[in-house]
Structure 1
Amino acid sequence: MRQLYIVVLLMFNFIYLKAQDFTSWTEHLPYRKATHLVANNKNIFCLTQSGLFSYSLTDNEIVSYTKAKGLSDVNITAIGWSEEQNSLLLGYDNGNLDLIKDNEIINISEINKFSTIDNKTINSITVSGGFAYLGTDFGIVLLNIDKEEITDTYIIGAGGKRLKVNDVVLSSNEIWAASEEGIYNAMLNSTNLVDFNNWNLVTNIPASNRECKDLEFIGNDLFVLRSTFGTTSEIYKLTNNIWSEFQSNTSQIYSIKNINNNLWLCQSDIIKELSVNGTQQSSITLNDNDDFRDVYQINDRVFIADYERSLIENQGSSYEVIKPDGPMRSDISSVHSVGDQTWAVAGNHDDLYQNVNTPAELFLFESKNWKNFTQENTEDLSGKFDLVDITSNQRNESRIYTASWGDGIFFFENQELKANWNSSNSPLDSKGVISMSSDSDGNLWVLDANSNDAIKVLSYEGEWNSIPYNSLSNQLDMQKIIALENGDKWVLRAVGKSLFAFNENGTIANKDDDVSASFSVRDENNSTITSQVYDLVEDKDGSVWLATSSGVVVYADPGTIFRNGDFYAYRPIITIEGSTQFLLSTEKVISITTNGANQKWLGTESSGAFLVSENGDEQLAHFNTNNSPLPSNKIDKISVNPGTGEVFFVTDKGLVSYRGKVTEGTDDYSDLYVYPNPVRETYKGDVTVSGLITDSTVKITDVSGNLVWEGKSEGGQFIWNGKNFNGSRVHTGVYLIFCSNSDGSKSKVIKLLFIH
C-alpha cells in the first residue's frame, strides 16, 4: 500500500475561531468499514463506519473529517455532494446535518431538535439543483442549500404514518422514495407535498409493501433494489409504467448506481456492470477478502468502498487500498502505555463466555503513527481470536504481553512475536486469560479463567508456576489482577463479590508461606461502602483507588491487610460550587488510572471522563460528548502515555486521545529540553519544558538574572505561556531556564531563544 498521509484542511483554521478548540484531541479511527462514495472533480469522499475522509485525485492527499477538526458530531450516516453549490453535505444518526462550503462548516440542527420524533437518522442525501432531499427514519426533509435552512418535511405514509426512507430520486416531474414499506411517489408540481394524501404507494410492482433499499434512474427507466429474505436481493425495472424483474434471488446487493448509463451493482464478492437490458458488460473481483459496498467511476478510474479494507482504487490487474492512518478496529478491549508507546488490542467474549471471534490483532501508536500487527503480517496470529488484555514488563519495557480468550498469551519483544503460551505448552487453561500484571522483578502475574489454579506466574527467566487459591478456582467472571509495589497482589473478582489479595512472600514455588484474604470494601467503622467495583489502580504513593458504582473509594494503606495497622477504605471528599460531597458519588465509575503528577483520571458509565487532583479533593477537568470530541460518554478504559502525557480514552464507540500537560517524571535531568526552541514571532502557543524530575522548581530569567516566571512542574513537564508576571509576552532575547528537584540536590540550566 502506498504511503499516504493526512492533512488538515485550511478551512478548519476558520472553524476553530467559531467553535470550541479541540486541537488537543485526536480521534484514532480505523476507517476500514467503507460504505458510501461521492465525488467532485478534485476529490473522492469515502464514508466509513468510523468516519469520513477524502482522497485527492491529483496529489494523493488524504483529509480526515472529524469532530476534533470542526464537525458538529460523530456517527455520520449519509453523504452528498452539490456541484452547483460546491458543497459537501453530511447527515448523522441523530438528525444533525453539516454543510461544508466556502471554507466553512455550517451545522443545521433543526432535525436533531425535533422533540416529537425519536428516530431521526439521516439515511440518504439526494441533491437536485439548490435543494437536498434527505431520506430519514421518519420521512423526507427538504433542505435549501443556498439558504442553509430546512424548508419542508414530508411524512409520506398512508394516514400520515412516519416511514423510514432509505433513498430518494427525482425524474423530470416526479419524486420517488424507497421506504421500509415499499415505493412511494408524488408529483413534483404538487402544491402541497407536505400533505400525505399527495403521496401514493406504488402498487403495480409485485410484493409492493416490501422494503426498498435503493433507487436509480437510467434515462426514463427506474431501477429499485429490494431485500427479499435478509441475505438475498432483487432488482426490478420500471419501463413505460410496467415493472419487470431485472435481477432475482441473488446474493445480497448493497447498492446500485448509474455509471455512464449502465447499472453497476455491488455484491459482497463482485461488482457487476449491466446494460439496461440486463446484459453483463464487465465485472470486478479482487481477492477472497472482498466485501464491496459502493462503487464510483471518475474518468477511467474506478473506486470501491470495501467494508473490510476501506477505499480501494481498482487498477485492472492490481488494486490499491487508500485510508488514513489508524488502528485496525474501533472496538478496543484494552489499552496500555509504556515509555512513549501506546498499545491497544480488540476482542471479547459474550455473556455466555464464548468467543466473539474478533481476529487477533495488536495496534501500536508511536511517534504519532500507528503500526498494526495483523494476521496478514504476523503469521503466528493467524487463526487466533479475541485479545482482551495487554501489558508490559516492568523490568524490560520492550517486552509486551497480550492475553486472549482461548488462545493463551502472545509475547512480543522489540515488536517481534517471540512466543504464544497456551494450554498445550504452559500451565494456562484453555478457556481464556482475563488479566495480567507485571511486578518490579519482571514476573508476569496472570489471572486464568475457569481454572483450578487461577493464578499463574511467569518469571522473567521464562519459568511458569501455578498458585492455587480456592476462592478463585474455576471462575469465569473475574475482572483484573494488579501487582502492588509492596509485593501484594490484588484480584478484582466479579462485580458484587468480595475482593481478594495474596502475597507469595517472594517464594513463588513455595506455597506454604503464602498469605491470602478475601475482603469487602468497608470504612473505618466497618460499614460496607459498596460491593460494585469495576476497576482498581495503585497510585504513586502506594494507595489503591477503586472505581465503583457510587464514585471512588481509596485504600490509603493497602499493605495493612497482611501487616500491622488498620485496614479500611475511605471516600475522597470534594467541594464543587460550594457543595461538599463524596467524589463522584452519583456516578458509576468504571475505569481509573493515574498520570505523571499522580492525578487521577476517572471514566464513567454515562458522564464522560474526569480529571481530579492527587488526593481527589479538586476537579481539574471534565470531558463529555458536549464539550469534547469524545464519541461516547461511556469510558471503558483510560491509559496515559508516560512519555508524551497523551491520555487515551477507550469508549464503546472508538478510541480518542487528549494531549494532557502531565508526563511521567524522570530520575535526573539528562534528557531535559524545551520546545519550541527558538520560539518564533509567529508562534502564539505554550512553551514546554520536558524531561523534568517530578515536582521540579522551574525558574525562567533573562540573561541579566531578572525573574520573568516560575512554578512547579506537574510530573515531568512544565508549561509556560511565554508571558511575564505582568501578563505581557516577554521581549526578544535569550532566556535561562533553571530546574531543580524538591530538595535541591539535582539541578540543570538550559537556554531558550524567544523572538517577540
Structure 2
Amino acid sequence: MALSRKLSITLLVLVLSCTAVLSQNFSDRWTGFFSFVSVRDIQQGNDRIYAGTENAVFTFDLSTEELETITTINGLSGSSLTTLYYSENFDLLVIGYEDGLLEIVLDGEDVLKVVDIQNKPTIPPNRKRINHLAEYNGFLYISSDFGVSVYNLERLEFDDTYFIGEAGEQIQVRQTAVIEPYIYAATKEGGLRQALIDENNLIDFERWTRVVGGQWNAVQNLGEEVVGLRNSTIVARYDPGVGFTDLETYNVPVLDFQVHRQVLTITTAGSSFAFEPGYVPLNQVSLPFGSEDILQSGLTHNNVFYLGTEESGLFQIPFGSSNPRIILPDGPILNNPFSVDATPGQLWVNFGEVDVAFNPFPLNFRGVSNLREDVWTNLSVEEVFDANDLVSIAINPEDPNEVYMSSYQKGLLKIVDQVPTVLFNETNSPLEIPNGNTGIGLRLYGLDFDREGNLWFLQSRTNEGLQRLSPSGQFQQIDISSIIDGEAELALTEIAINRQGFVFFGTAESGLVGYDPATGRFNRIQEGVGVGNLPSVDIRALAFDNNNRLWIGTLEGLRVLFTVNDFFEEGSNPQASEIVFLEDGVAQELLFAQSITDIEVDGSNNKWISTATSGVFYVSANGQETLLRFTKENSPLPSDNVQDMTIDEFTGRVYFATTRGLVSYDGTSTAPRDNLEEVYVYPNPVRPGFVGDVTIDGLTDRANVKITDIEGNLVFETTSQGGSVLWDTTAFGRYRVASGVYMVLVTTEDNLETTVSKIMIVR
C-alpha cells in the first residue's frame, strides 16, 4: 500500500470515525511470548495463510514459508478472537472478537481499532460477539449475536446495523452470504432469513423474510447455489421456489463451514471435507484414530487442507496425503501462564492454576515451558510425571540448571538441565498427605532459596507446613502449630527469605508469619491497628528489597515492614506501614485496596507491583513516586490480571504473566556487577531524533558516575543504585548538551577500580 493511501486512511479515521483509532506499536521495548497452538479461524490471501489464534494472528508465506506473528506488541487488543477475514480488494485483514471489537490490520503492520460495537450501550455485553465476516461490493457484513452490521471497507466507517428478529429484536446471526439478488442470514433463533441486497431500507426488519425455520449455523454461496448448515449436522441446498433439500447429515457437529475460491470446506473435530460447486466431493482427510488433536477450523486452498487444531497449531495436508505438516510459531505451551521465574538468559513458565480461594479443582494437567537463547522447550505432562497444578517456580541461584516447581496436589518437582528428574511425594520423601486425604493431596505452594542453598517451601493443610530441602537432599519439616493451626488454615501462600536467613511466609486467613531458623522462634502480624496493621490477612506477595525491608502484598492492599531485625525479640509488637504520598496536596495510600499478585525488586531497588485488576505499577525505591503504569489500554499487556512477574537481573527485562499471555518489557535497571569489566553505554552514538535516556550499564553498586565534555566540563554526576544509571543527555537537567564526544568516568565505591567510556552525541 502506498504511503499516500496510508495517509488518506489515517485522515479518514480521524475525520469520519471518531470511535476508531490507530494502535501504538510497542516493538521497541516490548516482546511477546504467545502460544499459537489453538487456531480458531483461517483465511487466505496475498499469498499467505492467516491463522487466528486465541488472541493473536500468525501468517504463513506460501512462497517463502516464513512465519510472522501479529500480537499485542504490534497493537492487537489481546481479547478473545472469534473470526478473521482477509479482503484482497483492499489488502486488509479484519479481526473480530468476543467483546464486539473489530481490528483492521493495514499494510500488515498498522492496527486500526474499531470500537463502535464494543462501546454500544444499547447492545448487551453478552450480545456483542462477532461470529463471521463477509465482503460484498466493498462492504463488510458483520454477523454478530445481535444482528448484522455493515462496514465500508473503502472509507473505513460503519454504514448501517440491521436488527432482523421478529419485531426488530436482536437475534444471533451466525453467518451471512450474498447470492444476488439476495442476502441470506443464518440465525440461531429465527431460521434462515433473506432480503434483497439492493433494498434501500434493510434497516427495516420487515424487509427480512424467513425462508425456513430452525437453527441455522452457517450459510455460504457455492457456485450459484446457496448451501447452509442446520442444527450443526445437516448440510442443505436451497432451490428457489422449492425450498431447502438436505444433502448430507454428519454424525458429529460441524465446527467450521466456509467457502474459499469456490471450494466448500466442512470441518468436524476429527475430519475435514472439501466440495466443489454442486456439492461434488473433492477430497477428505481424517485425523489418525486415537489422535489427541482436535480440529476446530478448516480451509482448502490449491488442493491443500489447512486445518486449525486446539492444541497443535495449523496442519497443512495436501490432497491424497494423511500426514500433516505442523505450522506453528515458536512459543510456550499455553496463553495462561500462572507463574514465572528467570535467571540471566533463561525463563521458566508453568501453567498450574488455583482460584482466588486456593481451590485447585477442576484439576489441570499441563506441561512446563522453558525459554533459552530465544528458543522454547516445552515439557509435556507425561515428562513432568503427570504433576498437576504446578503453581510456583524457584531456580537455584547457585546452579541455574536446577529448577524446582511446586504442585498443589502432587508434590515437589525437580528439573535438571531441562529434564525432570524426580517428583518428591509421599512415596519417596518425608512429605505426607494430611490425614491420608488424597482429595487434598500434597498442596505445595511458595518456594524460595536461602543464602546457604536451602530450598524452603510451604505445604498447606498440615501442621508441618514449613519445609526445608538442604543442598545434600535432606528434608526438614517444621511444625507451625505454635503460631497458627496449619491443619485448619485454608492455605499457606508465598515465602521470602532475607539475607539474615529469616523466613517469612504468608497465609490466606492468618496474616504474615515469621520464623527464625537459628532460634526456632515464630511471630505473626495480622489485620488491624495494634496487631500488625495489615489491610488483610490474605497474603499474596512478599519481597525483600535491597534495604532489607519486607514489602507485603495482600488481597486488599500493600504494606511495608520497615524493620525485621527485632521481629522475633521477646515482647516485640511489629507493625507494618502503609506507603503514603501526596497527590495534589492530598495524602493518598499507595495501592489502596488493590488485590496485589506479585512484587519484584529491580537493580535500582525500585518495585514492580502487579495486580489482579489494574495491571502493573512501577514505583520508586521508597514507593513515593509511580514511575510507570502499564495496563491493557496503554501497553501490550493482554490482560490487566497479571498473575506473576520476574526480572532478568542482568538485562533488566521484566516478564509479565497475565491470564491471557506472556509479555516482557525491557527495563533499564539491572543487578550490580562485581567489577567494572562489563561497563557499556547504549545507545551509542546518540543519533538525531533519539528520544529517551542513555543507559550506562554493567556498574557495581554505589559506583560514582561522572560525564564530562571533551574539555572536562562536568555535565552529569550520580551514584548508582544497582547495575545501571540513566542520563537524559542534558547538563544537570538545564539544557540539552551539544553534539560531540562525552567521557563517562566510573569509579567503584571503594575507589579501587575505575573505567572510562565514551559517548558520541549527534544532534
Superposed CA offset, 1:655-695 (max 9, x none): 22222221112222232223345566797765432211234
Matched residue type, 2:174 = N
Structure 1 459/585 Cα, relative in aligned 2: closer, same or farther at 3 Å? same
Q: Residue in 1 aligned with 2:222?
A: 218
- CA shift at 1:539, angstroms? 1.5
Q: Residue in 2 aligned with 1:3?
A: none
Pairing 1:220-619 to 2, within 5 Å after superposition = 220-227=224-231, 233-240=233-240, 241-248=242-249, 250-258=251-259, 261-274=262-275, 281-287=282-288, 288-315=291-318, 316=321, 318-349=323-354, 353-367=359-373, 369-375=374-380, 380-381=383-384, 383-429=386-432, 430-470=441-481, 471-473=485-487, 475-494=489-508, 496-505=509-518, 514-523=520-529, 529-563=535-569, 566-619=573-626
Matched residue type, 2:309 = D
Q: Residue in 2 aligned with 1:510?
A: none
Contact 2:739–2:761 under 8 Å retained in 1: yes
- Is residue 162 of structure 2 the alignment partner of residue 162 of structure 1? no
Superposed CA offset, 1:25-69 (max 9, x none): 223210111011111132111100131121211222222222322
Superposed CA offset, 1:383-425 (max 9, x none): 3332111112233333211112333222123333332222211
* CA distance in 2 between partners of 1:633 and 1:352 (Å): 20
- CA shift at 1:125, angstroms? 0.8
Pairing 1:548-697 to 2, within 5 Å after superposition = 548-563=554-569, 566-677=573-684, 686-697=693-704
Contact 1:335–1:390 under 8 Å retained in 2: yes
Contact 1:355–1:405 under 8 Å retained in 2: no
* CA distance in 1 between partners of 2:153 and 2:275 (Å): 34
More divergent stretch after superposition (140-149 vs 106-115) = 106-115
Matched residue type, 2:163 = I
- CA shift at 1:486, angstroms? 2.3
* CA distance in 1 between partners of 2:387 and 2:596 (Å): 32
Superposed CA offset, 1:332-354 (max 9, x none): 11111223432211012466845
Among 71, 87, 94, the residue aligned to 1:82: 87
Contact 1:454–1:474 under 8 Å retained in 2: no
TM-score calculated relative to the size of structure 2: 0.87
Aligned residue for 1:570, secondary structure, equals: coil
RMSD, matched Cα: 2.9
Contact 1:524–1:569 under 8 Å retained in 2: no
Aligned residue for 2:587, secondary structure, equals: strand
Contact 2:101–2:114 under 8 Å retained in 1: yes
Aligned residue for 2:68, secondary structure, equals: strand
Aligned residue for 2:311, secondary structure, equals: coil
- CA shift at 1:300, angstroms? 3.8
- CA shift at 1:493, angstroms? 1.2
Matched residue type, 1:414 = D
Contact 2:616–2:631 under 8 Å retained in 1: yes
Aligned residue pairs: how many? 723
* CA distance in 2 between partners of 1:528 and 1:110 (Å): 44
Structure 1 234/190 Cα, relative in aligned 2: closer, same or farther at 3 Å? same
- CA shift at 1:73, angstroms? 6.2
* CA distance in 2 between partners of 1:416 and 1:729 (Å): 53
Structure 1 71/333 Cα, relative in aligned 2: closer, same or farther at 3 Å? closer
Structure 1 525/44 Cα, relative in aligned 2: closer, same or farther at 3 Å? closer
* CA distance in 2 between partners of 1:727 and 1:341 (Å): 41
Among 99, 103, 114, the residue aligned to 2:104: 99
* CA distance in 2 between partners of 1:354 and 1:95 (Å): 32
Structure 1 225/347 Cα, relative in aligned 2: closer, same or farther at 3 Å? farther
TM-score calculated relative to the size of structure 1: 0.88
* CA distance in 2 between partners of 1:749 and 1:373 (Å): 43
Q: Residue in 1 aligned with 2:16?
A: none
Contact 1:522–1:569 under 8 Å retained in 2: no
* CA distance in 2 between partners of 1:50 and 1:261 (Å): 29
* CA distance in 2 between partners of 1:643 and 1:170 (Å): 58
- CA shift at 1:590, angstroms? 3.2
Structure 1 277/56 Cα, relative in aligned 2: closer, same or farther at 3 Å? closer
* CA distance in 2 between partners of 1:354 and 1:593 (Å): 25
Matched residue type, 1:195 = D
Q: Residue in 2 aligned with 1:41?
A: 46
Aligned residue for 1:442, secondary structure, equals: coil
- CA shift at 1:273, angstroms? 2.8
Unaligned runs of 5+ in 2: 1-5, 11-20, 433-440
Structure 1 90/521 Cα, relative in aligned 2: closer, same or farther at 3 Å? same
Aligned residue for 1:238, secondary structure, equals: strand
Unaligned runs of 5+ in 1: 1-10, 506-512
Contact 1:43–1:54 under 8 Å retained in 2: yes
Identity level (%): 26
Superposed CA offset, 1:405-456 (max 9, x none): 3332221233333322222111224433222111111111121233452222
Superposed CA offset, 1:319-371 (max 9, x none): 3322333211111111112234322110124668455443342222344x242
Q: Residue in 1 aligned with 2:726?
A: 719
Structure 1 327/527 Cα, relative in aligned 2: closer, same or farther at 3 Å? closer
- CA shift at 1:574, angstroms? 1.1
Structure 1 193/456 Cα, relative in aligned 2: closer, same or farther at 3 Å? same
Matched residue type, 1:176 = Y
Structure 1 296/563 Cα, relative in aligned 2: closer, same or farther at 3 Å? same
Aligned residue for 1:194, secondary structure, equals: coil
- CA shift at 1:555, angstroms? 0.8
Aligned residue for 1:615, secondary structure, equals: coil
Structure 1 596/167 Cα, relative in aligned 2: closer, same or farther at 3 Å? same
* CA distance in 2 between partners of 1:529 and 1:295 (Å): 52
Structure 1 493/247 Cα, relative in aligned 2: closer, same or farther at 3 Å? farther
Contact 1:85–1:101 under 8 Å retained in 2: no
Aligned residue for 1:343, secondary structure, equals: strand
Contact 2:297–2:307 under 8 Å retained in 1: yes
Superposed CA offset, 1:2-46 (max 9, x none): xxxxxxxxx99x99x975462322232101110111111321111
Structure 1 696/184 Cα, relative in aligned 2: closer, same or farther at 3 Å? farther
Structure 1 178/713 Cα, relative in aligned 2: closer, same or farther at 3 Å? farther
Structure 1 248/356 Cα, relative in aligned 2: closer, same or farther at 3 Å? same
Structure 1 18/234 Cα, relative in aligned 2: closer, same or farther at 3 Å? closer
Contact 2:614–2:641 under 8 Å retained in 1: yes
Structure 1 55/552 Cα, relative in aligned 2: closer, same or farther at 3 Å? same
* CA distance in 1 between partners of 2:729 and 2:534 (Å): 50
Structure 1 21/90 Cα, relative in aligned 2: closer, same or farther at 3 Å? closer
